[in-house]
Structure 1
Amino acid sequence: MTSTNRVLIFAGGDIIPDFKQHIQEGDYLIGADYGAYFLIEHGIIPDTAIGDFDSITPQQLEELQNVCREVVVVDPLDKDLTDAELAFDIALNRQPEQIVMFGVLGSRLDHSMANIQMMLRALQHQISSSIWDKNNFITLTGSSALVQRRQFTYVSLLPLTPEVTGITLEGFLYKLENASLRMGQSLGISNKLEKEEGTIQIESGLLLIIQSKD
């Protein structure tokens, strides 16, 4: 299977205005449903477009098919996965070092939560993953992470397993050393970096790192 350094997924939710600044030479671009049309609207041709394309018109789909390298149209009544997860499966199969997702958060909480939980599948394949929108940058770790400010105000830590143990923070305003977080606790909400970056280490469990701003 062809391997690429990074795969970027664009779905139909909120996409940050400066998304072009995050595209690097050699990135493999996947558009999920409207996310594919969003890219060509902005002069970028995705490597793959996938979905049932119920969010665009037949004319827009034809436009996609005329310019995209690969367009995969799935039956909206005969699919078990969301368009975002279909795109995520393609990303995993390429065995990249990173998967970066845009437009996977929005007004649908069910879709947003499912897309956040997909990062677990990347971690199981030893692939780092992240989610960007205009107010949030989300990553997941099972060991350690370097956190950079990225113009975000807050850093919140939320367990994705019933308990995360051995949490040690360096470079943060509110310190933790060998601490534990359990689901349902808000202890890890709204921390701040003291400088431009800090480190997080954990001993067990899976920890969501959510950088955010109002």
Structure 2
Amino acid sequence: MKLYSDFAVQRARQVTADIIALALIALSVVTGIAVFSAVDQLAQFGRQLQTTGVDFRTSMTDAGTRLGGVPFIGEGISSPFTTASSAGDTLAAVGQTQQDLVRQAAIALGVGVAALPILIVLLVWIIPRLRFVSRATRTRALMRAGLTTDLLALRALTHQKVGAVTKVDPDAVSAWRRGDPVVLQRLAGLELKSVGIRAR
């Protein structure tokens, strides 16, 4: 697999783009985590509400249990406290629900803030990089298998921009048909340079 160009300038651009892309991805992840943490702090109110509800239920249950032990009137006195303890359960449930909603919102916002820039970076960076790696690796394998200058020149005629081809020769197709060695060599070099391979 060929990851980088043989040409210093092109290779420097590729390395720089890779570093910038990886730095932007890392920054997006850190920002997403920061947003998640900031939003998740809002769940503190729910945690306090849940703790208050549990404490209230425990207090009412304990009071009802103590008063229930009073002879003759204990059962009647403890009943309101037992009923009141269910309000603590309701309060604790509301607190838990609030925490769950905040956690879901924190996850959604954190992932959204991180994912959008990462997706943009990947579309702008990874697709051209993968295309380069694929073409360079395939061309190098073909050269090892005996790809000729003539075929490389033909690839240049079909793959390269018209402006680049006409700089080699205004009538490059005719030059290729008659097998002009200078034009063939320059076209082959043009094709190889586009895939980051230095002609040997």
TM range (shorter): under 0.3
Greater relative contact order, per chain length (Cα 8 Å cut-off, separation 6+) = 2
Structure whose residues are more often strand by fraction: 1
Greater gyration radius:
2
Structure whose residues are more often helix by fraction: 2
Per the normalisation by structure 1, the TM-score is 0.18
Per the normalisation by structure 2, the TM-score is 0.19
